[in-house]
Amino acid sequence: MAMWRQLADDDVESLLRVADIIDTELPESHDVVAERLKLFPDGCLALTENGELCGYAISHPIRRRQPPALDSLLGGIALDADQYYIHDVCVLPELRGKGLAAQAISKLLGIAERYSSACLVSVYGTARFWARYGFLPPPSIDEVLLVKVRGYGDDATYLERLKV
């Protein structure tokens, strides 16, 4: 049975292999993944089945509406970070539709409770999927954020979930 656990340092290579299958249009480097794991391990999850990594989730706090550009190092987590950013949730195609992403998102939203809001950049036409969890496009975003979001592809959309 596939289960989520904390991501470990020695999962990063396997994560990149899974990302090569799923996230082909938005590649990120080993250093970027390893740095997020080091800076905010609680927000990094591995989905495993029979010892094999078959999905992952990466998330961390940011300053409000200042998500990192694609494939960029964070340098650190700001002490005044006040928003929780879900960077990526991926499940291999053969395991989809079983509620596995929902399990990971529920864990991440538990962490997000500590912050005043949560956000993400929706890609691959997933805005409707994220709306289930209360992530919606804000009425407007500034130019700096807009340019950053465009870096994630033409269909990328910034979504935000306010605390209820």
108-145 residues labelled b (16+ CB within 10 A) or e (exposed): bbebbeebebbbbbbbeebbeebeebebeeeeebeeeb
Residue closer to ligand COA, measured from CB, 37 or 58: 58
Which of 75/97 has CB closer to ligand COA? 97
Q: How far is the CB of 90 from ligand COA (least distance, A)?
A: 4
Nearer to ligand COA, 37 or 89 (CB): 89
Which of residues 46 and 79 has its CB atom nearest to ligand COA in the complex? Answer: 46
Shortest distance in whole angstroms from residue 162 CB to ligand COA? 18
d(CA 72, CA 74): 6
Q: Please report how close the Cβ of residue 3 comes to ligand COA at its closest, in angstroms.
A: 13
Interaction site with ligand COA (CB under 6 A): 22, 88-91, 96-102, 120, 122-126, 128-129
Q: In what order do the strands lie in the sheet with 157-162?
A: 3-6, 44-49, 52-62, 83-91, 117-122, 157-162
CB of 7 to ligand COA, least distance (A): 16
